[in-house]
Amino acid sequence: MYKVLFIIAILLSQFSYSQSQQVDTIQNTNALRKYIIKIRLISTIELIKNVNRQIIGLEYEQKLNSKTSLVLDFDIGYFDKYVYYKYYNFFTLVDELPYTKRTVITKGFHIAPNYKYYVYNFNHVSMSGISCGGALDYYFYKKVYDYYNSRTNITTKNNYNSQQLSVGGVLGLQFLIKNRITIDASSSLFMKLFSSTSNDGKEIYSKNSFWNSDNGRFWAVYRIKLGYAFGK
């Protein structure tokens, strides 16, 4: 009987020790991470539509407590960049066929602050788990058309600006690897609050989105990001 009680006491002490060690590890891990800097891995339009884009996407996440954080997402670059050629008089004996060249460039930026709440933390570790929250998105685009006709050697230019402010919700899933490396996947649905366009141009819908409603009032975007957690 005493031997059994002795063995049970040893097992309980070992279990208690392992639990305290796990709690200490989690607390130390939580204390380590104060903020995360992330870079966009996949551009939505490149993945879905194979559009020629050159965009830098960054995100900064600041921990408020074990369940909440503030996020600032930022994109800048070329959201569209096309060049079209059209040739004429294929059957004429000339050194160079006459052609027209149309260049379309859309460049600009997105700024998207949002508030993130972690509904469930993996292993009780902050800034890791399933999250939801609210977000704003402001974008500004400048669209430039260049039309060149080789027969007249004249280039015609036209450009205008378009901007929009939207509000929406965010769902996300963030994994922590080796206490520092993070993989973040999120999706957002936005509703337009207001927009404006200069020079009687056509409103430019979000170039970040993988879906837009027909009237451009609603749009959705997803992001996959790789990050590194800082802080002591």
Q: H/E/C letters for each residue in 90-121?
A: CCCCCCCCCEEEEEEEEEEEEEEEEEEEEEEE
Q: What's residue 51's pLDDT?
A: 59
Least confident span in 10-19, 46-55, 137-146: 10-19
Q: Which residues pair with 50 in a beta bridge?
A: none
Residues 25 and 121 reside in one and the same domain: no
CATH number of residue 125's parent domain: 2.40.160
Q: Which two tokens stand for residue 2?
A: 């005493």
Asked if pLDDT for residue 31 goes beyond 60, the answer is no
Residues 18 and 38 reside in one and the same domain: no
Boundaries of domain holding 100:
33-230
Exposure b/e, 23-58, CB count within 10 A at least 16 = b? eeebeebbeebebbebebeebbbeeeeeeebebebe
Residues 213 and 99 reside in one and the same domain: yes
For the entire predicted model, the pTM comes to 0.77
Higher pLDDT, 222 or 90: 222
Q: How far is CA 18 from the centre of its chain?
A: 39
Residues 9 and 42 reside in one and the same domain: no
Residues 3 and 104 reside in one and the same domain: no
Q: How far apart are the first and last CA of the chain?
A: 50
| Range among 36-45, 82-91, 106-115 with highest mean pLDDT value | 106-115
Residues 44 and 149 reside in one and the same domain: yes
Residues 104 and 217 reside in one and the same domain: yes
Q: What's residue 200's pLDDT?
A: 83
Summary mean pLDDT of the chain: 82
Q: Which residues pair with 121 in a beta bridge?
A: 129
Residues 127 and 219 reside in one and the same domain: yes
Residues 3 and 54 reside in one and the same domain: no
Q: Which helix (H) or strand (E) holds 175?
A: strand 154-177
In this prediction, residue 45 has a pLDDT band, given cuts at 50, 70 and 90, of: low
Q: Structural domain tally of the chain?
A: 2
Q: How far is CA 125 from the centre of its chain?
A: 23
Least confident span in 38-52, 88-102, 168-182: 38-52
Neighbours of 135 (CB within 10 A): 20
Q: What's residue 212's pLDDT?
A: 92
Asked if pLDDT for residue 12 goes beyond 70, the answer is no
Instruction: Give the tens place of pLDDT for each residue, 58-94.
Output: 999 999 998 999 999 999 988 888 888 888 776 666 5
Instruction: Give the tens place of pLDDT for each residue, 113-144.
Output: 999 999 999 888 888 999 999 999 999 999 99
Residues 95 and 206 reside in one and the same domain: yes
